[in-house]
Amino acid sequence: MEIARVLWEIGPATVREVFEQFPSNRDFNFATVQTYLRRIELKGYATSTLKGRVRTYTASAKPRTVIRDAVGDLVDRLFGGESLPLVRHLIEQREIDDKGLAEIRKLIDQMEKRESK
């Protein structure tokens, strides 16, 4: 996931480019990043091509899809499929700052407006 996120963020990239996205506090071995990218491709979340000596990876699955699946899975396991308790948890545990709270309120307004139309 960490690796896939990098691919989404910086777009098509070589192993080295992905590797270099990680700050020193998250120090993977180059070969480890390589393995992850290979596996990501195996699962169909990315494609790659060999240009000369260097393989370049491109994300194929959309973030939205992968995120939906992963979050759905967590929600099933932790909350029996209910999303609301997760949001409640996040807000109550103060994981969201003031600015964030304001943004969420705005989002809710929009969703309600859109829904009633």
Partner DNA sequence: TTTCCATACGTACGCCTGTACGTATATATT
Partner DNA sequence: AATATATACGTACAGGCGTACGTATGGAAA
Does residue 24 interact with DNA by CB under 7 A?
no
Binding mask 66-105 for DNA (x = CB under 7 A): ----------------------------------------
Instruction: Compute, in degrees rounded to 10, the torsion defined by CA atoms 15, 21, 26, 28.
Output: 10
Q: Give the shortest CB-48-to-DNA separation in angstroms.
A: 7
Does residue 2 interact with a second copy by CB under 8 A?
yes
d(CA 10, CA 84) in angstroms, rounded, equals 32
- Find the length of the chain: 117
* Residue 15 interacts with, from DNA, a second copy, none (CB under 5-8 Å by kind): DNA
- Binds a second copy by CB under 8 A, chosen from 34, 74, 113, 117: 74
Q: Give me the helices (H) in 11-47, please.
A: 15-20, 30-42
d(CA 69, CA 43) in angstroms, rounded, equals 14
Closest to 55 (Cα-Cα) out of 75, 82, 78, 36? 36
- Binds DNA by CB under 7 A, chosen from 5, 8, 14, 66: 14
Q: Give the shortest CB-19-to-a second copy separation in angstroms.
A: 17
- Binds DNA by CB under 7 A, chosen from 21, 28, 79, 86: 28
